[in-house]
Structure formats: C-alpha cells, structure tokens
Amino acid sequence: MSKVAFLGLGAMGARMAANLVKAGHAVTVWNRSPAATADLTALGAAAAPSPRAAAAGADFVIAMVADDTASRAVWLDDKTGALAGLDPEAVAIECSTLSPAWAAQLAAAVTATGAGFLEAPVVGTLPQAQDGKLIVLAGGEVATFETARPALAPLAAAIHHVGPVGRGAVMKLAVNGLLGIQLAAWAEMLGFLGKAGFDAAAALDVLTTLPVASPAAATYARLMQAGDFAVRFPIDLMTKDFRYGTQAADGLKADTPVADATLAVLERAREAGHGGENVSALIRLYTGR
C-alpha cells in the first residue's frame, strides 16, 4: 500500500480520506480547521500541521477543496503549500472542481518540480463518497493516470481517463452544467404545477416515471417536493461551477445561453439567502417556502 496525503476534509474529502484509510493506505491528513482531522486520526490516519508537512514523503498527494482560490493556497502558499513538500517521484492528484485554466497552471507548477500531476474531479455527492462509489474524470498523461489508479480505486466505482490536463475540468463542469440546468427547470415546472393546483407529490408520481426524468433529477425533485434542503450539493458551489463553466465557454467562443440563464437563477437563489442550502432549495424561488 502507498503513503497518501489528503488535503481538505470537508463533507466530501473526509469521506474520501476515510475510504483510503480503510483500504490500508498510510494516510496523512490536513485540514484548514484542525478539529476536522479528529475522526480520521481515530480511524488510524496521521494529522499534519500544513499541506507541505502532509506532502513530505507521500507517494500521492490528493486535494479536495472548494475552488481555485483554495486550491492555489493549498498547493502554492509560500510557507505552507504542498508543492514545496512534494517528492519528485510523487503524484499530485487534484480532485476539486476547478476551472480548466487553473488546472493547467497547477499542472505546470507541479510538473516543473519533477512530480507527476493528475486532475481527477469526481462525480457524485455524499452517499457516493461514503460508499467509495464516485466517478473519477481524470485528465493528464496516461502513464501518470495508470500510476495513480491504486490511490483512486478506494474512492470510485469507475475511473475514466478523458484526455490531457484541462479535459477533466471541462468534463466535470459539463456534468454539473447538465445537472444544474435540469434542476433549475424542475424547480420552475414544479412551481408552475403548484400554481395550477397540482399536488406536488402526486405530480411527481407521474413525472418521475416518464423518460424526461433522469434518475438524478428525479431524486432532487423529490427533495424539492419534501422541502428537504439539507446540504448535499450547496447552491454556492453549483453557482461557482456554473461561473467556471460559462467563463471557460466564453474563452472558447462556445455559445451557452441555457447555462447562462441557469447561472442567473442560481445567482437569484444566492441573493435570496439560499446559497448555503442544498440545490433542491431552488424550489423556494417559486413557492416562498
């Protein structure tokens, strides 16, 4: 088994790191709030005071943080960044949902040290992270991808190599774009049905059996109907992903009017105070709940 450093123990990261410990890897963890390391150390992980210290001596260094800014701090901070602790034989694996531009910059910084780099954003939320059933969308050199497989295997039901660095970020933003567009539409249509006098539960009993309902959208629609806004995927993070996606599309001169409209809906939900709630809270824009 390998020595793995895991950086970022939010709701997703903590579950992913736990699966690495359970798989028998020697895991060292770091989190900006040190209290979050307690559950992992109880499982057998070691805790490090900084990303740099966690990375020292590791075969694989995995990060799972919120955005480009957090990723930049974790890897490149002058005093505490993991980059300075990387062994030249190590592989840096960035599992966060990032902009393609930052993924490329980070890859260049890592490979300049002699270490390998793989972007490996994941598809799935808390249940999949808990069960080690995430889907990995990896971008990077094929040889680096194959080297990193053992570190990713305990986290994932499937691991896909989608191309060079940057492609993983683009694919993940496309996945979240497709999900967000559906959920914005479902919230809007459920609001419409409610105004027309339909019982939401009865309407969903019909709608979720139809080909128009993807499994993911049907799940979130049920959460909307139940008023369940407990955080699995917060509106704030989905908004960030749509910003990254539409900015990347603009750079490619790709037209994304539906994504642009969905971003406006997400921004509206944030302005209404729902940014920290689950994306199912989009229904609140149409029901007043």
For the question of residue 240 being annotated catalytic, the response is no
Q: How many helices and strands, by DSSP H and E, does the chain display? A: 13, 9
C-beta of residue 204 within 8 angstroms of C-beta of residue 166: no
Which residue do the tokens 């999949």 mark? 128
Question: For residues 198 and 183, what is the distance between their CA atoms, to the nearest angstrom?
Answer: 19
Q: Which residues of 146-164 are buried (b: 16+ CB within 10 A; e: fewer)?
A: ebbeebbebbbeebbbbee
Q: Are strands 3-7 and 60-63 parallel, antiparallel or unpaired?
A: parallel
Which of 172, 195, 240, 253 does the annotation list as catalytic? 172
Q: Which pair of structure tokens corresponds to residue 161? A: 């190599």
C-beta of residue 265 within 8 angstroms of C-beta of residue 284: no
Catalytic residues: 172
